[in-house]
Structure 1
């Protein structure tokens, strides 16, 4: 398996892990709207630490030749662990910026989906425009979460939780779809390469 395939699989796993984490946090917002803030702070801290440890383990277990190209994974894993520990130490501060944090996460996620849509359009994927529409929806919902136009905290919390669940599910669907498209593209390229080699043999 090539290094590109390894990176693609690693990215897919991390993206799905993030999506599941968003769904879990969103579910807590919906189920426990009155007492979820502090709980979500600790859960978020735990998820960051686990994610950082997983990335650190993947870096350590990688071959030495690959470690030179995955130094960002080492920096990212340490940053995630430090972030998780910081939230554990001072959950009150994180609670005060909780809505803004998750709103910004959604906006960034929407921007990434825009890039996916553009890339899919370049390679001629049929449903590329659906990714762009989904990205626009995610960005719009993220802005609503950031600016919080709701009159009560409970309504806002339930709305934010529902949006996070939707975002997580859309991330999983997008990841599966993009992976499928690139697998099909890789098969076509492999077929073209084999055909060219056959012509060379005939010549």
Structure 2
């Protein structure tokens, strides 16, 4: 179940990253696009993201889908995309700030990836912190109007979206391999080698002696049965 969920999240991250790259390149190369066209493109992109959420919900295992709200989130995101397309006048002034929030959210996600990488023992987890900081700076520059309105602000947004997509793509591919290895080791730990018990050598019991020499055996003597006198000298 965990592996299926992990695959769904990975594919969602890959598709989202590709959409960021495409939208970012278009904004950077064609910053003179009308705000109406930007609203249309943004609305379509949001609708696609919502459809991805809905599709991922139906691809999940039944037990897993009971604890997820991807279907509800997908429907809400699709409705937001439709609203952006049909209420352009309302959203035209908000488009730069919405895209800035998207870039900042991408940076925060990479920040979480850096924390996860550190928790699983990945020594180069600080790389994600650097990537996340750059994305967040892109978004904050636009959000606080540090760049004058016009073509330049859309070029900055385009560069920020493209950068976020590329780094998200790197994070989804590279970190996912580390997480897969970590989970495999956790689910299938290597058996520990049994310790070898050292056996003590058997002690040889030596009978205790009193310290005095044993008396020597006396040789047998032959006696005359009538007189009781010895018949011969004992043999030595």
Q: Does 1:126 align with 2:123?
A: yes
Q: Is the 8 A contact 2:47 2:78 kept in 1?
A: yes
User: How far 1:48 moved relative to its partner?
Assistant: 2.0
**Secondary structure, counterpart of 1:167 in structure 2:** helix
Match of 1:45 in 2: 43
Q: Deviations over 1:130-165 (max 9, x none)?
A: 111111111111101212322351122112211211
**Aligned pairs (5 A) from 1:85-96:** 85-96=82-93
Question: Hey, what does 1:170 align to over in structure 2?
Answer: 167
* Structure 1 residue 84 corresponds to structure 2 residue 81: yes
Q: Deviations over 1:15-38 (max 9, x none)?
A: 122111111111121121112532
Question: Please, which of 32, 53, 63 is the counterpart of residue 65 of structure 1?
Answer: 63
Partner of 1:188: 185
Cα distance 1:53–1:150, how it changes in 2: closer, same or farther (>3 A)? closer
Give the TM-score, by structure 1 length.
0.86
Query: How many corresponding residue pairs?
Result: 194
Give, in angstroms, the shift of residue 95 of structure 1: 1.8
More helix by share: 1
Deviating beyond 6 angstroms after TM superposition, the runs of 4 or more aligned structure 1 residues are none
Quick one: distance in 2 between partners of 1:190 and 1:91? 50
Determine which structure has more spread, i.e. the larger CA radius of gyration. Answer: 2
Structure 1 residue 61: Cα displacement: 5.1
Tell me if structure 1 keeps the 8 A contact 2:5–2:60. Answer: no
